[in-house]
A and B are shown apart, each in its own frame.
Chain A
Amino acid sequence: MRWERFPAFLPLVLKSKLTYRVAGLALRYLGGRMSPYQLAAVKGVMSELGDAYSGRKPVIFTSAFVPTEIVYGLGAVPYLPEMWSGFAAAFGVSVRGIDESEAKGYSQDLCSFHRCHLGLEELSLLPKPSAIIVSSHLCDGGRRSLYAHSVSTGCPFYVVDVPYLMTDSSVRWLSCQVERICEDISRRVPGLSLDGMARAIENSNRARKIYLDVCQLRRNKPAPWSGSEALNYVFAFLSGWGSEWLVDFYANLGKTLKQRIEQSNYPVPQERLRLLWLNLKPYYGSPLFQYLAQWGVSVAFEEYSYVYWPEMHERRWAEGVATKMLSNFGWGPIERRLDAVWNMVNDYGVDGVVQFDQWGCRQSNGGARVLADFLREKGIPFLELDGDGVDPRNSSVAQALTRLQAFIEVMDARG
């Protein structure tokens, strides 16, 4: 569905309780056409959207790498505006959002994911946050753009200042911050408390355990899950930890993948080559992945689907959350990212690595040279694919396809 012209009634539709009732009924009747995992995700998201837009539950905006366990634990709904920029691109409203933010003075040189959600707020398409939590690690634009939301909505703004390295003192400082912030939010936002923290951590651990089995299934050749679809479900990976629905989603996904393997029903049945995909992808209906499939190339795994944190202790939840944040392989020295990429290359038996260079993403694109040299040394072809995840005007499809074709030839030449 594409809305080239922004429909003025959309904010009203999003905020109406009726919308979510109708959506619930529609799911009951049309849900049979979806895979169980898709249904679990859609149900989970619809229910949370209903809570968020209708004001049934307090909404907490977070930047992409804040563990959502703390939000579920507090009893609020997590909302990651960056993620919703991706949805806006899929529905064709991202361009309007980007234009709105640029009219406010935001530079075109900033990441379009952030410009887009700043514009979506101008269009009244975001729910009203009760609080905003950002982390200082990775992505400068994420925290700065969320600060703009806090100014315009007048809600409290919390910064989790993440130390660079994982040491005893950094874990202590970070867990102390997490604890203080959560306590403060529970005092300031009515309806929130710390009572659900242990439960959220338990859900997160359960989902993690099941998800690791899913990852095991994804090692199968041919790949049982299309990388393009997996990148659509990055929203679940970023915002679902701590929820009940994520457990359900991964359990059903695991069952479906198992069935696909048993029935040899693969998204790219004639798989010749396997790729590891780094960073995000274009969310506005780009032909990149279809093109790859036509050439027998499947995306076996994605950087954003990699579990990098250990199981968390339910009682010492703040310490667990701190450890999770500090374990992020994108943070700290780049060797951590190299190790993670190398693990993924080996675990999923990939033939090449593609990094989607999202316009304005300094933290990911800045490591491309190191990654390229590292992988070249290991004999793994690497491609940097310039593009824009949410702004179709800033990507050249023909150029991207030509580069992909050349990359496939390079991988083929290796034999």
Chain B
Amino acid sequence: MLLSTCSYIPLEIPLSLGIPAKRLFLQGIASGAESYVPRDFCPYAKGVLGYVSGSAVRGEPISLALAGSCDAMRRVADLVRLYWRGVKAYYVDVPRTSNDYAVDYYASVLREFSCELACEACDDNSNTLPETIRMMNRLRRQLGGLFREARDSSQEKPWTRAIDCLLSAGEFLGSGAQGVAGEQVLYLEETGSGGKGSPGAGNVAGEEVPCSEEAGFQRVWRPSVIVTGSMCLDRTLTSTIEEVGFRIGALDSCLGERSINFQIDENDPDCFHALAEGYLRKPPCPRMLDYGRRMAYLDEMLRGTDPSMDDGPGGLIYFVPKFCDHGYYDYVEVKRHLAGSSTPMLLLEGEFGVGNSAQVRTRLAAFREMLEMRRARVFCPPLGDVTGRTVRSRL
């Protein structure tokens, strides 16, 4: 199985060669990573090393496609290559820009990546790649639909369940049971986790989830928030955000809409060019040095979630994995970008399992209270006095 550490690496290439592949999302840091990297390395980098170390101990045959997402991941690529020789590591040189020159260069990188994989798999993907691209486009559309439905859903924890479907789809791609094409989408359709019906109709295991609207969940006003950042490490953050009583308007993370809100041009005769273009121009991650596009995407999300008056003011939750340089800098840029608007921001940083922390829950609850007070000010403006004290006394 090929595990990708970056959502800019197209899974279409290994899948078209019959190699099971998925994006590597982790649940925590397995032991065995700490002695290889300094203490100020991000949890994902450490997590990847821990995972590789654990797989080696268990004797699981894995391959890794690593991108130079940041200085830390570059070093992880070195460490995997040098210390776990049994693990086949491919370095995919993903550019930081997305202009035409970068697309051409990335197309050549992907062509080489494909050749390397084809040599390993003793296979050729010239016929299967277009078909796999179509299949992955369909899968992204299905998952995109799922996330869109989660946005408008009145049911309990729709985003956490959408993430579960995304992870589950990844597991399915990585299981090797999918054949060549089309069946992944079929799988999602069959399990009701995409396209057909709302996320509340059934989770990936087909279980009925009680609709909380009946339990009075919808009766409470829920402030809408956008969750953004360099990477949401795991599902605990969104789960807690929803538990605290927020309605998520958009989830801008690789473990979210950033991995699925794009399509590859199926009519481009050069599949590698199409892949390079599609992936480089997908919703930008803070690793890309494409700040204008990143802020425009953020604005688009803010408009999309409609933090307008009829729903009460919305907010933005920015999550940074500890020691993530891209996230720390991007947070200040986003803060500066939103300085003119009235969108309040909350910065959270942490490790895997961040959502399970009581401190994070308390901060989220305080943020929610603040948004509620703002809403009270908008919808019940105090007579004469507009200070916070008046509003608080009314509440």
A176: B residues at CB distance < 8 A: 101
Our pick among B68, B79, B101 for the contact of A164 (Cβ within 8 Å) is B68
Cβ contact within 8 Å between A367 and B95: no
Q: What's the interface size class on B, roughly?
A: 35 or more
Give the A interface residue count (CB, 8 A): 43
* Beta-carbon nearest neighbor of B76 in chain A: A366
A334 and B289 contacting across the interface, CB-CB below 8 Å: no
Contact B101 A177, beta carbon cutoff 8 Å:
yes
Q: Give Cα A165 to B347, complex, Å.
A: 36
Could you mark each residue 37-64 of chain B with 1 if its beta carbon is under 8 Å from any beta carbon of chain A, else 0?
1101100000000000000000000000
The answer to whether A139 and B71 touch across the interface, beta carbons within 8 angstroms, is: yes
Q: Mark A79-116, 1 if CB is under 8 A from B, else 0.
A: 00000000000000000000000001111011100000
Rounded to whole Å, the gap between the CB of A192 and the closest CB of chain B is 22
A140 near B: Cβ within 8 Å?
yes
Residue A32 CB within 8 A of the other chain = no
Closest chain A residue to B37, Cβ basis: A366
Contacts of A104 in B (CB 8 A): 332
Q: Judging by beta carbons under 8 Å apart, are A173 and B105 in contact?
A: yes
- Considering the chains assembled together, what is the distance between the CA atoms of A366 and B48 in angstroms? 14
Is B296 an interface position by the 8 A CB rule?
no
Contact B74 A366 (CB under 8 A): yes
Say whether A328 faces chain B, with CB atoms less than 8 Å apart.
Answer: no
B43 CB, nearest partner CB in chain A, Å: 12
Within 8 A of A (CB), among B138-189: none
By a CB distance below 8 angstroms, the chain B residues around A368 are: 38
The answer to whether A362 and B41 touch across the interface, beta carbons within 8 angstroms, is: yes
Query: Judging by beta carbons under 8 Å apart, are B74 and A363 in contact?
Result: yes
B328: chain A residues within 8 A (beta carbon): 106-107, 109-110
Residue in contact with A365 in the complex, picked from B40, B326, B329, CB distance below 8 Å: B40
Give the shortest distance, in Å, between B247 (CB) and chain A (any CB).
Answer: 26
Beta-carbon contacts under 8 Å, A325-358 to B: 333-334, 357
Can you give 18 contacting A-B residue pairs, CB < 8 Å?
A105-B335, A106-B329, A107-B331, A109-B323, A140-B325, A141-B325, A141-B329, A147-B291, A148-B332, A157-B291, A159-B97, A164-B68, A362-B70, A362-B71, A363-B75, A365-B38, A366-B72, A366-B74
Chain A residues within 8 Å of B, Cβ to Cβ: 104-107, 109-111, 134, 136, 138-141, 143-145, 147-148, 151, 157, 159, 161, 163-165, 169-170, 173, 176-177, 333-334, 357, 359-360, 362-363, 365-370
Give the top 8 A-B pairs by smallest Cβ distance, nearest first: A366-B75, A144-B329, A363-B71, A362-B71, A334-B78, A164-B93, A107-B328, A136-B96
